Structure 1
Amino acid sequence: MKCGAQLSLYVMADDFVRVILSSLDAIAPYRDHLRIETDDISTLVVGPPELIFPTMRELFVAAARSGHHVAMHATISRGCPGEPDMDICEPEQPSAFDEDLEKRKRRAARAVTDAPSTGQRVAVQFSLYPLGPADYMDEIYGCIDFLKASPVFDRAKNYCTRLAGDAGPVFEALSQAWLSFGDPNAHVAIDLTASANSPSPDAAA
């Protein structure tokens, strides 16, 4: 199985180059466990599924701490049938998918509650796509139930869910949505946009 993300970071400031490059330094501790490739459009992060969202969190929080309005768009995927299996993507922990949906919802909720704070507020909207199985909507509804009960749920939007709060529990909620819902042997994807320090009035919501 291949697990990874293509992400693009946008900094609304004259010194965006400095902010982006210094933010990439924040993910240095993960580089021994991941394949990370950056070009002029995006950064590819490939590796164990448990490390994908922590890596994204560190990158985004480092950029947000510049004080500038920053945004990130990412496409996250695991189990794509069109991608080769990679040993680097072996999970560090066993899948929780053998548990029934209610147990997975409670397990995911505990992980969000236990997530450490970063001191950086973020807002994220995302959509979960568990591809393949006929009962995929059961997984989506289960994920929505989990999110609505979490402290970072903001509101439902057309085609997506908005989360807001400290980046620690927000990115943990995203990670749990990806790891705990959707057959681990099937293709599961997430499309997300994150924002911090926005001048929009909604940024304080």
Structure 2
Amino acid sequence: MTNENAVEREAGAQFNLSVMSDDFAEVILSALDAVDAKKVWMKTDDVATAATGSIADVFDVVKAIYLNASKTGLHVEMSGNIVLGGCNTGEDENDKNEVRLNDETSRRISQKAGCRFSIYPLGETGYIEKITKSVEKLPDYGVEVSMVPFATRIDGEVNDIFEALEATFTEIQETSEHVVMPFTISCNSPSNR
């Protein structure tokens, strides 16, 4: 799924985790504490959480945080951006190996969700064709794909959704200096599609 180049390049994520419950703070803090983040630099403040590290490590940590919050059965939403190039801040302790510290635990959590995302290879001509080719591969990851205004929607298991997002990001970054992927993922929502 990921290639050697993806492991070596540093990515960054900034996201908000929203839990629709009175005990939202406890759920969010518990999800953050449950994740092994030693291979990324991570900081949480009153507005958002930011993480930097290899592409694989950033996706591993972001997915694990979301899954640990979502396993409560509460309506949980995460919105953010994953970026490559630009203004990442912080330092990671990535040892450049491909071991995903949270993968085994994340794979044991089964959670269905819906996700909307877009991906932008910045400063490129012909980017629409590049994006279209990547989006056409999404069903290969076991997710349902549909087009929605200004984005692509994918539905399925959270592990499959994040695998599809990472594969798309990884493919686009192979030939792009700067990439931005805004996303929103939601599970256990009381509303219908």
What TM-score range do you get, normalising by the shorter chain? 0.7 to 0.9
- Local SS of the residue matching 1:201: coil
Unaligned runs of 5+ in 2: 1-8, 99-105
Residues 78 and 187 in structure 1, CA contact (< 8 A), matched pair in contact too: yes
Do 2:41 and 2:90's aligned partners in 1 also have CA atoms closer than 8 Å?
A: no
Deviation readout 1:59-113 (Å, 9 max, x if unpaired)? 0111111111111111110022x457967578656xxxxxxxxxxxxxxxxxxxx
CA contact under 8 A between 2:138 and 2:145: conserved in structure 1?
Answer: no
For residue 19 of structure 2, the aligned residue among 6, 11, 30 is: 11
- The aligned counterpart of 1:146 is 137
| Match for residue 169 of structure 2 among 155, 160, 178 | 178
TM-superposed deviation, 1:151: 2.1
| 3-state SS, counterpart of residue 181 of structure 2 | strand
Deviates more, 1:38-47 or 1:147-156: 147-156
Aligned equivalent of 1:112: none
The root-mean-square deviation of aligned C-alpha atoms, in Å, is 2.4
Corresponding residue of 2:158: 167
Amino acid at match of 1:200: S
Which residue does the alignment assign to 2:180? 189
The residue that corresponds to 1:111 in the other structure is none
Distance 1:61 1:86 in 2: 25
Q: State whether residues 75 and 191 of structure 1, in contact with CA within 8 Å, keep that contact through their aligned partners in structure 2.
A: yes
Q: 2:125 matched to 1:128?
A: no
Q: Separation in 2 of the partners of 1:117 and 1:161? A: 27
What secondary structure does 1:7 align onto?
strand
* Preserved contact between residue 121 and residue 176 of structure 2 (Cα < 8 Å): no
SS at match of 1:8: strand
Residue identity in the other structure for 1:24: L
Task: For 1:90-129, list aligned pairs within 5 A.
Answer: 92=97, 116=107, 118-129=109-120
8 A Cα contact 2:14 2:50, kept in partner = yes
Shift of 1:15: 0.5
Q: Would the aligned equivalents of 2:71 and 2:109 in 1 still touch at CA under 8 Å?
A: no
CA contact (8 A) 1:117 1:166 kept: no
Percent identity among equivalent residues?
A: 31
Q: Once the 2 structures are TM-superposed, how far is the Cα of residue 195 of structure 1 from its aligned partner? A: 0.3
Could you tell me how far 1:135 is from its partner in structure 2? Answer: 2.4
Large movers: runs of 4+ above 6 Å: 84-87
CA distance in 1, matches of 2:93, 2:71: 30
The alpha-carbon deviation at position 139 of structure 1 amounts to 1.4
Query: Which residue identity does 1:55 align to in structure 2?
Result: V
Distance 1:185 1:86 in 2: 22
Alignment TM-score, normalising by the size of structure 1? 0.78
Structure 1: where are the runs of 5+ without partners? Answer: 94-114
Q: Residue 33 of structure 1 contacts residue 47 of structure 1 at CA under 8 Å; is this kept in 2?
A: yes
Distance, in Å, in 2 between the alignment partners of 1:156 and 1:130 is: 19
- The question of 1:68 aligning with 2:70 is answered no
Distance 2:176 2:158 in 1: 29
